[in-house]
Amino acid sequence: MEVHMIILTGVLVTVAVYLLLSRNMIRMILGTAVLSHAVHLLLITMGGAAEGHVPLLGESDGPYVDALPQALILTAIVISFATTAFLLVLAYRTYEETGTDDLNYLRRVRRE
Protein backbone atom coordinates (compact mmCIF):
# COMPACT_ATOMS: atom_id res chain seq x y z
CA MET A 1 0.00 0.00 0.00
CA GLU A 2 3.00 2.21 -0.02
CA VAL A 3 4.46 2.51 -3.49
CA HIS A 4 1.49 4.25 -5.04
CA MET A 5 1.28 6.52 -2.00
CA ILE A 6 4.90 7.42 -2.45
CA ILE A 7 4.38 8.18 -6.09
CA LEU A 8 1.34 10.25 -5.19
CA THR A 9 3.46 12.15 -2.73
CA GLY A 10 5.94 12.83 -5.50
CA VAL A 11 3.16 14.14 -7.72
CA LEU A 12 1.89 16.39 -4.98
CA VAL A 13 5.38 17.73 -4.34
CA THR A 14 5.83 18.41 -8.03
CA VAL A 15 2.58 20.30 -8.29
CA ALA A 16 3.23 22.16 -5.06
CA VAL A 17 6.68 23.28 -6.07
CA TYR A 18 5.40 24.37 -9.44
CA LEU A 19 2.72 26.44 -7.74
CA LEU A 20 5.25 27.78 -5.28
CA LEU A 21 7.30 29.16 -8.13
CA SER A 22 4.41 31.23 -9.45
CA ARG A 23 4.22 34.96 -9.34
CA ASN A 24 0.74 35.07 -7.93
CA MET A 25 0.43 35.14 -4.17
CA ILE A 26 -2.56 32.86 -3.98
CA ARG A 27 -0.93 30.34 -6.28
CA MET A 28 2.12 30.40 -4.07
CA ILE A 29 0.07 29.93 -0.91
CA LEU A 30 -1.89 27.10 -2.48
CA GLY A 31 1.51 25.66 -3.24
CA THR A 32 2.37 25.68 0.44
CA ALA A 33 -0.99 24.09 1.21
CA VAL A 34 -0.34 21.27 -1.24
CA LEU A 35 3.17 20.93 0.14
CA SER A 36 1.76 20.29 3.56
CA HIS A 37 -0.69 17.74 2.17
CA ALA A 38 2.25 16.00 0.60
CA VAL A 39 4.29 15.92 3.75
CA HIS A 40 1.43 14.62 5.83
CA LEU A 41 1.01 11.79 3.38
CA LEU A 42 4.72 11.22 3.45
CA LEU A 43 4.78 11.09 7.22
CA ILE A 44 2.07 8.51 7.39
CA THR A 45 3.61 6.46 4.62
CA MET A 46 7.02 6.52 6.22
CA GLY A 47 5.42 5.44 9.48
CA GLY A 48 5.10 2.05 7.94
CA ALA A 49 2.57 0.01 6.03
CA ALA A 50 -0.97 -0.06 7.33
CA GLU A 51 -0.80 -3.59 8.62
CA GLY A 52 -2.59 -3.55 11.86
CA HIS A 53 -5.65 -2.27 13.56
CA VAL A 54 -6.83 1.16 14.41
CA PRO A 55 -4.85 2.24 17.45
CA LEU A 56 -7.79 2.13 19.78
CA LEU A 57 -7.40 -0.35 22.61
CA GLY A 58 -10.49 -2.46 23.07
CA GLU A 59 -11.53 -2.08 19.43
CA SER A 60 -9.41 -5.10 18.66
CA ASP A 61 -6.59 -7.09 20.13
CA GLY A 62 -3.92 -5.66 17.94
CA PRO A 63 -1.47 -5.59 16.43
CA TYR A 64 -1.98 -1.90 15.95
CA VAL A 65 -0.59 0.38 13.32
CA ASP A 66 2.15 2.74 14.44
CA ALA A 67 0.36 5.45 16.42
CA LEU A 68 3.30 7.78 16.81
CA PRO A 69 3.33 9.13 13.25
CA GLN A 70 -0.37 9.79 13.60
CA ALA A 71 0.24 11.95 16.63
CA LEU A 72 3.06 13.73 14.85
CA ILE A 73 0.91 14.42 11.82
CA LEU A 74 -1.84 15.80 14.00
CA THR A 75 0.60 18.29 15.40
CA ALA A 76 1.91 19.04 11.94
CA ILE A 77 -1.57 19.57 10.55
CA VAL A 78 -2.47 22.07 13.21
CA ILE A 79 0.79 23.93 12.77
CA SER A 80 0.43 24.14 9.03
CA PHE A 81 -3.09 25.39 9.50
CA ALA A 82 -1.83 28.14 11.79
CA THR A 83 0.83 29.07 9.31
CA THR A 84 -1.47 29.02 6.32
CA ALA A 85 -3.98 31.22 8.11
CA PHE A 86 -1.31 33.75 8.89
CA LEU A 87 0.18 33.62 5.43
CA LEU A 88 -3.20 34.16 3.81
CA VAL A 89 -3.97 37.20 5.87
CA LEU A 90 -0.49 38.50 5.32
CA ALA A 91 -1.06 38.09 1.60
CA TYR A 92 -4.16 40.16 1.52
CA ARG A 93 -2.68 42.79 3.79
CA THR A 94 0.32 42.96 1.50
CA TYR A 95 -1.96 43.30 -1.46
CA GLU A 96 -3.86 46.09 0.26
CA GLU A 97 -0.68 47.99 1.03
CA THR A 98 1.25 47.43 -2.13
CA GLY A 99 -1.58 47.13 -4.59
CA THR A 100 -0.18 44.05 -6.22
CA ASP A 101 -0.61 40.34 -5.79
CA ASP A 102 2.28 39.71 -8.13
CA LEU A 103 5.24 38.51 -6.11
CA ASN A 104 7.51 39.59 -8.90
CA TYR A 105 6.55 43.20 -8.27
CA LEU A 106 7.10 42.97 -4.55
CA ARG A 107 10.82 43.29 -5.03
CA ARG A 108 10.29 46.74 -6.46
CA VAL A 109 8.46 47.86 -3.38
CA ARG A 110 10.98 50.18 -1.84
CA ARG A 111 11.05 51.50 1.62
CA GLU A 112 8.81 54.45 2.11
**Closest separation in Å from C-beta 61 to another protein:** 11
Q: Are 20 and 86 in contact (CB under 8 A)?
A: no
**Closest separation in Å from C-beta 105 to another protein:** 9
* 47-71: burial string, b at 16+ Cβ within 10 Å, e else: beeeeeeebeeeeeeeeebbeebee
**Closest separation in Å from C-beta 53 to another protein:** 6
